[in-house]
Amino acid sequence: MLRPWLKPDLQACLFSPAEAIAARAAQRRQERQTPLYPSHVKHQQQKRKPNPQRTPQDHYSTVTYRRAIEYGLTKANAKIDDDDQKIPGWHPNQLRHNAATVLRKEYGIELARIVLGHSTAFTTEIYAEADRDQALVAIAKIG
């Protein structure tokens, strides 16, 4: 699924805001209905700031990653009329919670604590959901 975005440079970021903006601009240019006259090009160049304060980066930060997901969800849900069919809200931190839960279930709370970088298991308890299946097995054994 990720093959189209893989790059020869293994250190390069898989997804790049700068590349996404450039691709979007190229697509908009290609889908343009009216011809692009030299006066248009000149006018667009004049509108550009010579030294913009913010430029697209080569990688997503945690904030821009979250914003991109929110934008995608909003855009996808705008196309859906039925509220029951809409995509529920999601945030990237759910990946961390999921990893914590899987690590806790498979290897125990201590390993999950180490991998997540928490100093105490109490913090890991917040991230990792309790293993209800393990509790049911224990109760079944006890009777």
Task: Please give the pLDDT value at position 33.
Answer: 92
pLDDT digits (tens, 9 = 90+) for 68-110: 889 999 999 999 988 888 888 888 888 888 888 899 888 988 9
Do the domain assignments include residue 12?
no
If one counts every other C-beta atom within 10 angstroms of the C-beta of residue 112, the result is 23
Burial class (CB within 10 angstroms; exposed 0-12, middle 13-18, buried 19+) of 66: middle
Do the domain assignments include residue 72?
yes
Looking at the structure, tell me whether residues 109 and 85 fall in a common domain. Answer: no
Do the domain assignments include residue 132?
yes
Residue 98 and residue 91: Cα distance in Å, rounded?
A: 12
Burial class (CB within 10 angstroms; exposed 0-12, middle 13-18, buried 19+) of 54: exposed
Do the domain assignments include residue 9?
no
Do the domain assignments include residue 133?
yes
Looking at the structure, tell me whether residues 78 and 105 fall in a common domain. Answer: no
Looking at the structure, tell me whether residues 108 and 131 fall in a common domain. Answer: yes
Mean pLDDT of the chain: 87
pLDDT digits (tens, 9 = 90+) for 121-133: 888 888 777 767 7
Looking at the structure, tell me whether residues 98 and 129 fall in a common domain. Answer: yes
Do the domain assignments include residue 67?
yes
Do the domain assignments include residue 27?
no
Residue 4 and residue 2: Cα distance in Å, rounded?
A: 6
- Residue 129 is part of which domain span? 93-142
Domain count, the chain: 2
Looking at the structure, tell me whether residues 100 and 125 fall in a common domain. Answer: yes
Looking at the structure, tell me whether residues 136 and 101 fall in a common domain. Answer: yes
Looking at the structure, tell me whether residues 98 and 83 fall in a common domain. Answer: no
Q: Provide mean pLDDT across the span 115-125.
A: 89
Do the domain assignments include residue 25?
no
- pTM, whole model, 2 decimals? 0.56
